[in-house]
């Protein structure tokens, strides 16, 4: 993984707009350079794995940050699988808006759950709890975050398994 440093002002503006810089750049490059969409799938899964590892490493020392990293891992999985399963109606709205919203993420989760099973929706609900109650509200301690971790791990590992034939 290469590291690209963005100017602080750009990162701040993206943050104000609720846009994750890394994920946005992946989508922007795939779209603007007309790359094979599967390059984007692989990139989102690489981000998901990195966030999963970072989150796992923070569970005991910083459950708030662990919660957000684990949520971001799940979010990247949803983005990757939305492209992999060619959920064009959802991806079209994302492209029009220029970013993912909770609405598109939730609709993608439901469509992906139709293909992978209800466990995926359940795991997304775990990720959402981590995002809201673990990160924004800072109500989850390490024990709670650790209990949600297997749901996020399953999302990442299953997404990698499902898409493994794309490399």
DSSP for 61-95, written as a single string: T-HHHHHHHHHHHHHHHHHHHHHHTT-HHHHHHHH
Average the pLDDT over each of 28-42, 55-69, 93-107, 124-138 and give the range with the smallest value. 28-42
**C-alpha–C-alpha distance, residues 166 and 160, integer Å:** 10
Q: Is the pLDDT of residue 167 over 50?
A: no
Q: Which of helix, strand or coil describes residue 101?
A: coil
Per-residue confidence band for 65, with pLDDT thresholds at 50, 70 and 90: very high
Asked if residues 79 and 156 have their Cβ atoms less than 8 Å apart, the reply is no
Looking at the chain, the whole-number percentage of residues with pLDDT higher than 90 is: 74
Higher pLDDT, 37 or 87: 87
What domains, with CATH codes, occur in the chain? 30-166 (1.20.120.330)
Q: For position 166, what pLDDT does the model report?
A: 55
* 61: its two tokens: 């020392």
For residues 103-116, average pLDDT:
97
User: CB 118: neighbour CB atoms within 10 A?
Assistant: 9
The mean pLDDT value of the chain amounts to: 93
What is the residue whose two structure tokens read 């993912």? 100
* 46: its two tokens: 């690489």
pLDDT digit string (tens) for 75-96? 999 999 999 999 999 999 998 9
**C-alpha–C-alpha distance, residues 143 and 132, integer Å:** 16
Per-residue confidence band for 157, with pLDDT thresholds at 50, 70 and 90: very high
């Amino acid at each position: 993984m290469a590291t690209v440093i963005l100017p602080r002002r750009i990162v701040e503006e993206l943050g104000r707009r609720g846009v994750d810089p890394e994920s946005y750049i992946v989508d922007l490059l795939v779209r603007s350079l007309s790359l094979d969409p599967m390059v984007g799938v692989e990139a989102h899964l690489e981000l998901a794995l990195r966030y999963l590892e970072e989150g796992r490493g923070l569970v005991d020392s910083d459950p708030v940050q662990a919660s957000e990293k684990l949520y971001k891992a799940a979010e990247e999985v949803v983005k990757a699988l939305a492209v992999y399963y060619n959920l064009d109606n959802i991806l079209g709205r994302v492209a029009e808006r220029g970013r993912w919203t909770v609405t598109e993420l939730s609709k993608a989760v439901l469509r992906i759950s139709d293909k992978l099973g209800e466990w995926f929706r359940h795991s997304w609900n775990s990720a959402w709890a981590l995002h809201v109650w673990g990160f924004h509200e800072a109500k989850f301690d390490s024990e709670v975050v650790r209990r949600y971790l297997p749901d996020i791990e399953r999302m990442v590992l299953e997404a990698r398994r499902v898409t493994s034939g794309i490399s």
